[in-house]
Structure 1
Amino acid sequence: MAGISSTLYNSIFKRTSTFALACVGAALFFERTFDLGSELLFEKVNEGKLWKHIKHNYEK
């Protein structure tokens, strides 16, 4: 465990610039993942009610 923590400290937490970059990268990754997950959940809950699901009923 000491090897992992020292490697993590030396590569990310030692300098403020790399720590800030890691925070920004993690925030972007979390935001994108959360957005895709909530979009998937919304479409699953509203399946058959959204326009893209019923559009074929109204097109000629």
Structure 2
Amino acid sequence: MALSQTIYNTVFRRNYIFVGAVFVGAFAFEMAFDTISDKVWDRLNAGRQWKDIRHRYVQDEE
């Protein structure tokens, strides 16, 4: 009971804190989801992306 009361008093009691917590949570979720999605995409398409085959087509200007 004490934990739920503490969470209520710190987050849900004031609207501006609740809205801020929602925005921070959404931003953190977006960053984590994008990072994980990029890693999965890179793993599934390894060897077929420009960053993997660039050295075959672009020559250094040295």
Pairwise same-fold verdict (TM > 0.5): yes
Residue in 2 that maps onto 1:13: 12
Distance of 1:24 and 1:55 partners within structure 2: 39
CA distance in 1, matches of 2:5, 2:57: 62
Could you list the structure 1 runs, at least 4 aligned residues long, displaced by more than 3 angstroms after superposition.
none
Unaligned runs of 5+ in 2: none
Deviation readout 1:9-29 (Å, 9 max, x if unpaired): 010000111000000000000
TM-score, normalisation: structure 2:
0.88
Point out the structure with max Rg over C-alpha: 2
Using structure 1 for the length normalisation, give the TM-score: 0.91
**Alignment deviations for residues 35-56 of structure 1 (CA, whole Å, 9 cap, x no partner):** 1111111111000000101111
**Larger helix proportion, structure 1 or 2?**
1
Percent identity, aligned pairs only, is 36
C-alpha distance in 1 between matches for 2:28 and 2:35: 11
Number of corresponding residues: 59
Q: CA RMSD in A?
A: 0.8
